[in-house]
Chains A and B, each alone.
Chain A
Amino acid sequence: MTPQALLETAVLLGFFVLAGGGYAGLYSIGRLRANIGLVRAGALCWFTAFGIALVVAAATPLDAGWKLFILASALVYAAIPPMTWRYLERLHDDHSPEGAGQ
């Protein structure tokens, strides 16, 4: 790993999770306010995370196993917010008179 690649890779990894968090945050606020624009901005964040994963895979000196892992994580990131949201909504519908985002 060259000194420059070290910093580039670490920063990419940090932004990868940040973009994943941005997706989770914007998706949730979008769903809450029934605002499709925000949900789309969330999707854009996920694409950014996926793009970062591709850059990590293509341009960093990480071992192949880690690159695959990051790519797989990007796919799992895509599923977490909608799955969690659906689960929370179901819990709410089952157990309480209130619903979210109405």
Chain B
Amino acid sequence: MYRSQKLSLRYFGAAVALFGVMIVFGLLSALYYLHPSLLFDVFNFSTSKTLHIDTLVIWLLMGFLGAVYWYLPKELGREVEGMWLAELMFWIFCIAVAIVAAVFIFVQYGSSNEFTLWFINQGRKYVEAPRWATIGIVAVMAVFAYNVVATCIKAHKMTGIMWVLVIDLVPLLVVYLDAFPAITNMSVDLYWWWWLVHMWVESTWEVLIGCVMALVLMDVMGTSRRIVEAWLYIEVMLVLGAGILGLGHHYFWIGTPEYWLSIGGFFSALEPLPLLGMVVHAIYDAGTHRMKTTNRPAFYWITAEAFGNFIGAGIWGFMMTLPQINLFSHGTQWTVSHGHFAFWGAYACGVIAVLYVAKQQVSGVNFLDGRAWKWGFGLLNLGMIGMVMGLLLAGMAQAFFGRAIGGSTLMAFTTASENPWFVSGIYARFFFGVIFAAGYVVLVYDLLTAPKHLPMPQATPEPA
């Protein structure tokens, strides 16, 4: 095993641990909806939610880093350049995350001054970490970029997937930087902050997961390199073509000019088109290899990724992306429903697939299957689907009663929050959240237990 793959395993371990922390704070955040005065004056909802969504971003990022460190030496046929720096950065990353989490839990908030921005909380959703930690993350990403580029140079080798990855590293880093100057005009501040959040989740991360999935497909299904690469180029073009200006769907109501209503609506409504192509591709690939794979859990998680991306991002996003609808659905639990489904489908399932790829190699079995992973897969997906359906119901009730009928007044918000449709949706979220958490426990158990040595199925894929 390469040294960088050992680093991957550490990244995967940290990612899975943070996934667990995320679930704990997700459940706690959901409890506040059932008992609004919970932990009053001790630990408020916003801190719990901050911990939930920041750990989401960090565990996925760690999963991506781990995946790239895993495949890089395989792809380029040599150890990753600058490993000592990469290893150092891993520990800096973990320590920074632990300190930031401790500050969020014990300090929570500060006065509105520079000190707070630097040391407590920057107040920007998804990336609340204070500035010092942000600089740390930039350093981690810069070293990661160096590792990738320097290894390509040293190896005198460049594959198509590597080109896409290297080019993607530039916007990945640059958009992260653009969101951190302190701008006092709220509209301008949000304008740039969305560059970060949207461009990460609907552009640069899509490309990154595209590269990772291309590598996994070659590994798990034996798909030929030239096929995954040709497909990757097309997918990247389509995703970026619609995704970049799809940014406009976040500019509807933040004080930006009116033309964003048309730009945002138009380009984001185009976004399901490449996702349809991905559905066809997933079925084609699965069928070509007659569902035969040496790693069944990874195969199922990749398939869940393709369909989850289409449903969570495509269908759930499209429902509320035209400005006339979004005027009412904006910022309700409807959005939350889409946020959960899309993140789960587009990214989380893909990262879990890579965890199983690593498990197979570490345990040295030729064929990975069993029973526990099926329970993990089933419970996690059932939990997620139950949560997003409950949230959709709750969000539609908010849009209907609180916004469209009630006219968005405080009274209307309160009335909508007491509406039985809303309340049952919120209970459903908690109930299915517990099922999801059970799925997580099984997933961790399965990842940590040694697999059985099973006979190889017939007609296994050929190596790429």
Q: A-side interface residues toward B, CB under 8 Å?
A: 1-3, 6-7, 9-11, 13-14, 16-18, 20-21, 24-25, 27-29, 32-33, 61-63, 65-66, 69, 73, 76-77, 80-81, 84-85, 87-88, 91-92, 94-96, 98-101
Contact partners of A28 in chain B: CB under 8 A: 279-280, 283-284, 287
Q: Which of B311-343 contact A (CB under 8 A)?
A: 311, 314-316, 318-320, 322, 324-325, 327-329
Q: Would B262 and A65 count as touching, CB distance under 8 A?
A: yes
Cβ B272 vs Cβ A88 within 8 A = no
Residue B405 CB within 8 A of the other chain: yes
- B269, B322, B405: the one within 8 Å of A3 (CB): B405
Interface size class, chain B: 35 or more
A84 to B277, CA, bound (A): 6
B residues less than 8 Å from A1 (CB atoms): 324-325, 327-328, 404
Which residues of chain A have C-beta atoms less than 8 A from B78's C-beta?
none
Q: Which residues of A contact B325 (CB under 8 A)?
A: 1, 6, 9-10, 13
A101 to B290: give the CA distance in the assembly, Å. Answer: 8
What residues of A have a CB within 8 angstroms of the CB of B361 in the complex?
none
CA distance A10 to B318 in the complex (A): 8
Q: Which of B85-93, B225-233, B441-449 contacts A (4 or more CB under 8 A)?
A: B225-233
Q: Which B residue's beta carbon lies closest to that of A65?
A: B262
A7 with B318: CB separation less than 8 A? no
* Cβ-neighbour of B227 out of A2, A32, A66, A91 (below 8 A): A91
Chain A residues with CB below 8 A from B226, complex form:
91, 94-95
Tell me if A98 and B288 are in contact (CB < 8 A). Answer: yes
Q: Smallest distance from the beta carbon of A94 to chain B beta carbons, Å?
A: 8
Q: List 6 A-B contacts (CB under 8 A).
A: A10-B319, A10-B396, A62-B322, A81-B276, A91-B231, A95-B224
Q: How far is the CB of A87 from chain B (nearest CB, A)?
A: 8
CA distance A11 to B400 in the complex (A): 13
Cα distance, A66 to B268, chains bound together (Å): 12
Q: Which residues of B contact A61 (CB under 8 A)?
A: 324
| A9, A16, A100: most-surrounded residue (chain B CB, <10 A) | A100
Q: Complex: how many Å from CA A11 to CA B314?
A: 13
- A73-B314 Cα distance, complex, nearest whole Å: 13
User: Smallest Cβ distance from B114 to chain A, in angstroms?
Assistant: 43
Residue B453 is within 8 A (CB to CB) of chain A in the complex: no
Among A11, A63, A69, contact of B324 (Cβ-Cβ < 8 Å): A63
Whether B224 and A66, one on each chain, are in contact in the complex, defined by CB atoms closer than 8 angstroms, is: no
B265 contacts the other chain (CB 8 A): yes
